Each structure stands twice: as C-alpha cells, then as structure tokens.
Amino acid sequence: MRQLADLMRMKPRTVRFYLQQGAMPRPPFRGSATRYEPVHLLWLLAIWRLRASERLSIAAVRKRLEALAPPELEAFAVQGMPAGPLADALGIVQEQAPAAEAQLGLGGSGSLSQVPRWGRIELALGLELHVRDDASPGVLDLASRVREFVRRAKRPRFRAAQRSTSGAQYRREEMSEAEARKS
C-alpha cells in the first residue's frame, strides 16, 4: 500500500479511506502478503481525477466509476498522463502527439490505441469541448475555431458600469473604438 500511495503522492491513510468507502475494489486479503495490482492504481488515478476536476463526493465518485467498463475506466484514468513513474508503473509507452493535437493542447493516443481516447478543452468555467484523439483534421480545425470563438467572446466588449461619462460621450467612444478595430 505504501508504494501505491507513494506513486500517487498521497498518504496510505487516504488509500485506506477510499477502500473503506468502497470507492475502489479491495485486493484479495493475504495478510502482510496482500499485493495491489495495476488496476488499483488505475482506480486511484480515476478517483483523484474526479475529485480534483469535478469536486465530487466519494459516493458520487463510486457511482461514476462503477458505471464504467474496465477499458473505459483505464482510458479515463490515463488520459493525458505524462511520462513518469505512474506511466511506467502502468506500462504505458508515451507516443508523440500529432501537431494538430498539440496545438489544441490534447495528449497523444498512448498505448491504448484500441480504446478511443478523448481530449478535453476547457472553454470556460463549467464548459468543456471533448475531442477524440483520432478525430479528422476537419474536426480538429473546427475544435480550434470553436476555442478561438469562445476566447474572443469572453473578452469584455464595453465597460458601461465602470465609466462615469454621459451617454453621448459613451457612444462617441464606442464609435471610435469600432473604427479603430476596422483598421
């Protein structure tokens, strides 16, 4: 258990807590010879991802993960995993991401090529765009355009509440800003 906790950079007590709450399967008990398998590491990774990204309770995490088939759980747990001790412990060989995926900030396809993997692009707080890693160049281009559109839409267009000018002065300023943008 210590090695599992060390790989995840968490305390063994946290792993025990997840086991007690039923958030991950228990290994077969063999006293001091009890061994944790890579599947337990996958469960811990998936739990950590859900707790960190969605701030779910342990009960909600358990429900979400129990609904996943083993290949889906593995794909979710290792999505975007960088090379390092965790990837090594799971036997994951990192591949180079194609240029279009790198431009979008998506990870490579990893060693699970038979399982479709998804990249996540956070567009705004609570809004994400999901793109499969094997998406066509047209889809990747569309995702890039959606990301750019949202980035531009999030820019403040005017700050009426911050200005203390009259309505006429405000309209003149807006018109001059619009003319400046045209050129």
pLDDT digits (tens, 9 = 90+) for 20-73: 888 888 888 888 788 888 888 888 888 988 888 888 888 998 898 888 888 888
Task: Give exposure, 51-88, as e/b (b: 16+ Cβ within 10 Å).
Answer: beeeeeebeebbebbeeeeeeebbbbbbbebeeeebbe
The domain boundary, picked from 93, 119, 141, lies at 93
Q: What is the mean pLDDT of residues 113-134?
A: 75
Are residues 6 and 76 both part of a single domain?
yes
**In the predicted model, is pLDDT for residue 98 greater than 80?**
no
Which pLDDT value is given to residue 84?
A: 77
Are residues 56 and 34 both part of a single domain?
yes
- CA 109, 60, 106: angle at the middle one, nearest 5? 20
Structure tokens at 19: 């086991």
Are residues 26 and 110 both part of a single domain?
no
Contact between 65 and 74 under an 8 Å Cβ cutoff? The reply is no
The domain boundary, picked from 59, 93, 127, lies at 93
**In the predicted model, is pLDDT for residue 169 greater than 70?**
no
Which pLDDT value is given to residue 87?
A: 77
Q: Give the residue with greater pLDDT, 74 vs 114.
A: 74
What is the widest separation between alpha-carbon atoms in the chain? 81
How far is the C-alpha of 28 from the C-alpha of 155, rounded, in Å? Answer: 55
Q: What is the mean pLDDT of residues 2-23?
A: 86
Q: Is 26 exposed, middle or buried (0-12, 13-18, 19+ CB in 10 A)?
A: exposed
The mean pLDDT of the chain is 75
The structure's pTM equals: 0.49
How far is the C-alpha of 128 from the C-alpha of 44, rounded, in Å? Answer: 23
Which pLDDT value is given to residue 97?
A: 42
